[in-house]
Structure 1
Amino acid sequence: MEVLDQEHSSQVLDLEEITKEILFLEKWRGIFSYHGLGTSNTTPQNYEGNHISADETEDGTGIPQPKGQGHLPSSSLCSIPKPSIISSKLGGLPISLAMATKLRQSLFGNTVQVFSSDWRKAYFRFHDPSSDLAFALDMGKGGARSIQMAVQGSVIRYLLFTTKGRDRNFGSLRAVSKQEQERALAAALTGILWAAGTAEKATVCLFSEDASVTSTPDYSGDGFTERLQLFEFLEKEATEKFIYDHLQCFQGEGSHGVILFLYSLIFSRTFEKLQEDLDVTTTQLLQPSAGGFLCRQAVLNLILTGRASPHVFNGCEEGESQEIFHGVLARSDVGYLQWGKDASSEDDRLSQVGSMLKTPKVPVWLCNINGNYSILFCTNKQLLSDWKMERLFDLYFYSGQPTQRKPVHLTIDTHAHHWERDQHEDKHGPGRRFSPVEMAIKTKWREATINWNGTVPFY
């Protein structure tokens, strides 16, 4: 009799939980925010052109390839928080031991090293909407920070120079809403992955509830890579829609969001193209440092240019032993400036930034200043296309440091008289005339006079 009572009580609890779930879903029914689509398709398996068995491929990679037009249902685009773990039935290709082994070798050069704790904790999180830093990602610590800052550059590019109907000024960045933050992040991640896939395809990696790989004597599991599911898309719009639908997988606490993006970046580029991009100076993408790992330049160039070039100069150069060093082959959307010693750079001769990165398509730069990453940007898109705009202009600097409450406003004068430059230099005293931030700017505008507009210069 007691057993029957327990079974009855369990059934009542199950019914109560089911009822709560139904009421919760009903509460949010009808809330949509993407292209005005409805909720007629609510199961993940119904993504048009995405639910394809692993043997239905066109390029022999084994990754499911969507054949539709990328019109994905939008039921998951409302504000209900989504889990960072997806169902194994969503339709992706489970990672194999061979894939996991290649992934580990590409990152670490071996199959036994795993990500440090600072990498596992890193994800993409914005500052509060409608604030001075509404456009900015909250940066973490360690080697993953350089990836977050590189993605930050693409987020700013989207908000300033891609979004239609938005005034291109600094005030618009402070007015960014939560929904705009999410759209900007989805667009930024998509654009980077699509460029890595040579504008032909992109692969999005998500973590599922079930593992498809087990540890072996030659492969050390980390508890999450073994649960990777791969989704390949042949259209950029479909990629962005899918990422937006699963954005919590990249921006949720505990999601390993930065690692997930890095995995997606590598699979989008493919192992074969990755090896073609690299050269004798770089055989793996991460470099051990102080118990963690730093990104090599190839990772940052892959984010900025779509190619994992190991160096920042223009084109290719031949070494003394006739080896070929690979630099940047085309102008990037987001640029790159560098000043000071970088712990991930082993050869100063190969670290001179070329014009391809110094003069990007839009005035946004990822800055490497003594190994610390930050962002410089201008709200005037014509800055780099009209020489008259480079006479006197404003730049904004975001360091990502916890103490920074708003971007620093800098005024750059490239035609100041020599006595004005001398007067400015004297303010900093002998031996420390310019801050590293100013020196980074001067790698692009050599004769620039920089006004910090009341902010104490960063040293």
Structure 2
Amino acid sequence: MEAELQQILVQVSDLQQRRKVFTSKKQTNKQKTTKKKRLLDVGKEEEPEEATPPCRSLPTLCSIPRRLVISPSLGGIPVTPELTESLRRILFGGTFHVFNYEWRKSVFQFREPNSELSFALQAERGGARAVQMVVQARVIKRLLFGCQSDSDGRTLCSLTEVGQSDQEGALAAALTDTLWLAGQEVGATVTLVTEDYCITPHLDYKLDTFTEKLQLFTFTQKEDVRKFLLDHIQCFKEEGSHGVILFLYSLICSRTVDRLKEDLDSTTSHLLHLSLGNFVCRQALLNLLLTGRARPHVFNGTLSFTEDGRALERPLLGILSRSDVGYLHWSREQMDRGRLPQVGSMLKTPRVPVWLCCINSSFSVLFSPTRSLLSDWRTEHLFQLFFYNGQSAAARLTVDTHSHHWEASCRDPVADPEKRFPSLEMTIRTKWAGAAVDWNGTAPFY
């Protein structure tokens, strides 16, 4: 109910902005008509009118501030009509959908530098939060472990000592890692917005005033991608930049539309779907962000047969390789219906102990500063995990995989443990079955 109310309020706000704009334009036109009539009455010629930009009648959020656009002379390749249509089709399934207010305002913005949450990106509820939280996972990976090969990374305390330059460096590295994976580790493309329209849309295409101004910059060296992103990091993190959308366009262009079509199977044709009035990420897009391939399913490998042994008409495509950051999934609603997806080991056991979590359709990050957690079984007896959901605080959890006292402490022996414990704890148990979770004084949530 809260999510639905939030979406309704956003839509009402957007409509109010549009009404103000059109009302203002109507009044202006009325004044011009009156002025014209008055001038004609006295036999004078009407003064020439100033040309009106094509986006003046649209909400201000449709236009990116001038300080965040680049010059066409920077050297990129202008977007083509064919590419803009392909972007719309692979994202929405058609050319008439555009990103809404919630997506347009979403950026990669950190919290206050050198604070308790200086490592953390701000993320509101909504469809764009999934993209922000994948990037958050890789930011944490970079800050904790960097490019080190030692057994452990930095401590959580060091995450509170992150200054602005460290924030921007970690963000550029996280975006680079994601794009480089999508480009099969041989190249990547970054999309930015230029000053002028690169194409003239036709009648079968809905204008959004920034996709039509894209410039594409393609690189064949990973370090060149990182330096370019760092030089233009304001285009992804500052208010009004449409930073999450630009990154999503960069991701698709890095993977290429043709490869994306090969990644998908008969169950998925595009990357976003409409839910409660907002566009949310399909599993294929999450997997593209996590692994570089838009595979629609979370199990390992390819599924060619049903549970009863019958051959599938078209195989179902899962995860082919171990990811650098992982993925955990839990949903009470899906569990009640017996449809909880079984996440495979390729996603459950990543190279570093950082996971994107989808908990009751809301996205967050779970991580440990102990790198050996996934390589030394002795560290999995008793360890700490930290949880961040994009909102105001992080939680420290102690996980005990041997005591099993969580089962014994229940007064009702027949009660379903899946309904007795917070969803976050049940999410953790999809990785460590039967683990006891201590919230260390924090009131349990999720």
User: Normalised by the size of structure 2, how large is the TM-score?
Assistant: 0.80
Indicate which of 129, 138, 143 corresponds to 2:127.
Answer: 143
Q: Which residue of 1 aligns with 2:290?
A: 304
Indicate which of 369, 376, 386 corresponds to 1:386.
Answer: 376
Deviation at 1:218, TM superposition (A): 1.4
**What is the DSSP-based 3-state SS (H/G/I as helix, E as strand, rest coil) of the residue aligned with 2:72?**
coil
**What is the DSSP-based 3-state SS (H/G/I as helix, E as strand, rest coil) of the residue aligned with 1:361?**
coil
Indicate which of 405, 421, 424 corresponds to 2:406.
Answer: 421
Q: Which residue of 1 aligns with 2:44?
A: none
Change (3 A) 1:412 1:220: same
- Alpha-carbon distance between aligned partners in 2 of 1:184 and 1:427, rounded to the nearest angstrom: 48
Deviation at 1:89, TM superposition (A): 1.2
Q: What aligned pairs does 1:3-42 form with structure 2 within 5 A after superposition?
A: none
Deviation at 1:215, TM superposition (A): 2.2
Please tell me whether the aligned partners of residues 82 and 248 of structure 1 are also in contact (alpha carbons under 8 angstroms): no
Deviation at 1:351, TM superposition (A): 2.4
User: Normalised by the size of structure 1, how large is the TM-score?
Assistant: 0.77
Q: Which residue of 2 aligns with 1:450?
A: 437
Q: Which amino acid in 2 is paired with 1:422? A: E
Please tell me whether the aligned partners of residues 330 and 340 of structure 2 are also in contact (alpha carbons under 8 angstroms): no
Change (3 A) 1:85 1:307: same
Deviation at 1:298, TM superposition (A): 0.9
- Alpha-carbon distance between aligned partners in 1 of 2:220 and 2:145, rounded to the nearest angstrom: 25
Q: Which runs of 5+ in 2 are unaligned?
A: 1-64, 306-310
Change (3 A) 1:322 1:364: same
Deviation at 1:290, TM superposition (A): 1.8
Deviation at 1:131, TM superposition (A): 1.1
Residues 274-293 of structure 1: CA deviation (Å, up to 9, x unaligned)? 01111011100000112220
Query: Counting helix residues as a fraction of each chain, which structure ranks higher?
Result: 2
Deviation at 1:318, TM superposition (A): 2.0
Please tell me whether the aligned partners of residues 193 and 214 of structure 2 are also in contact (alpha carbons under 8 angstroms): yes
- Alpha-carbon distance between aligned partners in 2 of 1:140 and 1:214, rounded to the nearest angstrom: 34
Please tell me whether the aligned partners of residues 203 and 230 of structure 1 are also in contact (alpha carbons under 8 angstroms): yes
Is 2:254 the partner of 1:268?
yes
- Alpha-carbon distance between aligned partners in 2 of 1:426 and 1:139, rounded to the nearest angstrom: 38
**What is the DSSP-based 3-state SS (H/G/I as helix, E as strand, rest coil) of the residue aligned with 1:140?**
coil
Is 2:390 the partner of 1:400?
yes
- Alpha-carbon distance between aligned partners in 2 of 1:193 and 1:414, rounded to the nearest angstrom: 36
Q: What aligned pairs does 1:203-218 form with structure 2 within 5 A after superposition?
A: 203-218=189-204
Q: Which amino acid in 1 is paired with 2:349? A: T
Q: Which amino acid in 2 is paired with 1:86? A: I
Deviation at 1:447, TM superposition (A): 1.4
Is 2:164 the partner of 1:174?
no
Deviation at 1:263, TM superposition (A): 0.1
**What is the DSSP-based 3-state SS (H/G/I as helix, E as strand, rest coil) of the residue aligned with 1:383?**
helix
Q: Which residue of 1 aligns with 2:244?
A: 258
Q: Which amino acid in 2 is paired with 1:378? A: S
Residues 361-411 of structure 1: CA deviation (Å, up to 9, x unaligned)? 00000000010001100000000000001000000010112xx33x10000
Q: Which residue of 2 aligns with 1:367?
A: 357
Deviation at 1:96, TM superposition (A): 0.5
Residues 178-218 of structure 1: CA deviation (Å, up to 9, x unaligned)? 11000000000001000100000000000101111222111
- Alpha-carbon distance between aligned partners in 1 of 2:129 and 2:214, rounded to the nearest angstrom: 22
Is 2:177 the partner of 1:191?
yes
Please tell me whether the aligned partners of residues 313 and 350 of structure 1 are also in contact (alpha carbons under 8 angstroms): no
Change (3 A) 1:219 1:315: same
Residues 228-268 of structure 1: CA deviation (Å, up to 9, x unaligned)? 00000000000000000000000010000000000000000
Structural RMSD (CA): 2.3
Q: Which residue of 2 aligns with 1:128?
A: 112
Change (3 A) 1:392 1:103: same
Aligned length: 372
Change (3 A) 1:252 1:426: farther
- Alpha-carbon distance between aligned partners in 2 of 1:424 and 1:224, rounded to the nearest angstrom: 57
Is 2:84 the partner of 1:100?
yes
Is 2:173 the partner of 1:155?
no
Please tell me whether the aligned partners of residues 186 and 220 of structure 2 are also in contact (alpha carbons under 8 angstroms): yes
Is 2:428 the partner of 1:438?
no
**What is the DSSP-based 3-state SS (H/G/I as helix, E as strand, rest coil) of the residue aligned with 1:89?**
helix
Q: Which residue of 1 aligns with 2:278?
A: 292
- Alpha-carbon distance between aligned partners in 2 of 1:225 and 1:367, rounded to the nearest angstrom: 30
- Alpha-carbon distance between aligned partners in 2 of 1:209 and 1:342, rounded to the nearest angstrom: 47
Identity %: 53
- Alpha-carbon distance between aligned partners in 1 of 2:400 and 2:269, rounded to the nearest angstrom: 42
Q: Which residue of 2 aligns with 1:86?
A: 70
Q: Which residue of 2 aligns with 1:237?
A: 223
- Alpha-carbon distance between aligned partners in 2 of 1:312 and 1:163, rounded to the nearest angstrom: 27
Please tell me whether the aligned partners of residues 311 and 350 of structure 1 are also in contact (alpha carbons under 8 angstroms): no
Change (3 A) 1:426 1:358: farther
Change (3 A) 1:259 1:200: same
Q: Which amino acid in 2 is paired with 1:389? A: T
